[in-house]
């Protein structure tokens, strides 16, 4: 049976976040270097976005490059930046055809100037697309995001633009990088690792976590649907009891 047919389209997560892990191990298994793994991960990105779009997911966020990733060997970092630039250029026609609105979160100013320009150009070109929002988390760290949020809110308090008593969850949400996105409903991590690695800590407060042993370059649309089916088999209570949910 087609896995897509097993999905209840009325209970699809609005926002899916993915930690794309396993490129290095996949490449090592092929007797190649890590960069080979990164280059062969694009199909997984394409398949995941396509799968999400086809079932009505509103937003998908990919952990593409963390603040910690800058510590990797320069050759790998340079290759990742080059891959980012070339991939965005190559995928733009497909983004337009499939209604994908591209977005980015993180400390974008730390990216190479050329990468910044291409990213901003693609974001501009796709700004009117409405099928799905594809967000790339680049030079992103959730703790850094939260620290920046606290600083920006504190400045408003000091400048008397905001009262301390007015600060609530909505205030914080509106100052995060993801202010224009729904909260994360489902987080997928590939490669068998079971941690969230400083990714969307605030936004994933009530997210369902799904871990799979599949390495990211091997991840396909059917695997994405496996995660959706598992998500729909879970009971999301948000602090309530099962009886309250049923009522």
Annotated binding site for substrate: 22-26, 34, 38, 66-68, 70, 72, 189, 195-197
Q: Which of 21, 58, 103, 185 is catalytic?
A: 21
Per annotation, catalytic residue among 33, 69, 107, 198: 69
Other beta carbons less than 10 A from residue 48's beta carbon: 25
Query: Residues within the annotated binding site?
Result: 21-26, 34, 38, 66-68, 70, 72, 189, 195-197, 208
The yes-or-no answer on residue 69 being catalytic is: yes
d(CA 176, CA 92): 27
Please check whether residue 176 is in contact with residue 4, taking contact to mean a CB–CB distance below 8 angstroms. Answer: no
Annotated active-site residue 98? The verdict is no
Q: Are 191 and 214 in contact (CB under 8 A)?
A: yes
- How wide is the angle at C-alpha 78 spanned by C-alphas 77 and 81, nearest 5°? 85
H helices of the chain, in order, are 23-29, 34-39, 42-55, 74-97, 113-125, 142-158, 169-173, 221-232, 242-246
Annotated binding site for Mg(2+): 21, 208
Closest CA to 85 of 33, 120, 49: 120
What are the catalytic residues?
21, 69
């Amino acid at each position: 049976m087609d896995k897509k047919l097993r999905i209840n389209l009325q209970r699809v997560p609005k926002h899916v976040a993915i930690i794309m892990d396993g490129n290095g191990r996949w490449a090592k298994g092929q007797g190649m270097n890590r960069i080979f793994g990164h280059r062969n991960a694009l199909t997984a990105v394409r398949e995941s976005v396509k799968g999400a779009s086809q079932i009505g997911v509103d937003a998908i966020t990919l952990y593409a490059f963390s603040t910690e990733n800058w510590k990797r060997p320069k050759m790998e970092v340079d290759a990742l930046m080059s891959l980012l630039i070339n991939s965005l250029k190559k995928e733009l026609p497909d983004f337009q055809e499939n209604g994908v609105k591209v977005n980015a979160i993180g400390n974008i100013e730390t990216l190479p100037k050329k990468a910044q320009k291409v990213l901003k150009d693609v974001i501009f070109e796709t700004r009117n697309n409405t099928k799905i929002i594809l967000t790339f988390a680049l030079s992103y760290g959730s703790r850094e995001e939260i620290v920046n949020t606290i600083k920006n809110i504190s400045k408003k308090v000091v400048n008397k633009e905001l009262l301390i008593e007015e600060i609530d969850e909505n205030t914080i949400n509106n100052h995060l990088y993801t202010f224009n996105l729904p909260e994360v409903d489902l987080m997928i991590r590939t490669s068998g690792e079971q941690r969230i690695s400083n990714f969307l800590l605030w936004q994933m407060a009530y997210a369902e976590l799904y871990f799979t042993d599949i390495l990211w370059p091997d991840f396909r649309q059917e695997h994405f649907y496996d995660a959706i089916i598992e998500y729909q088999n879970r009971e999301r209570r948000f602090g309530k009891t099962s009886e309250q949910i049923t009522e």
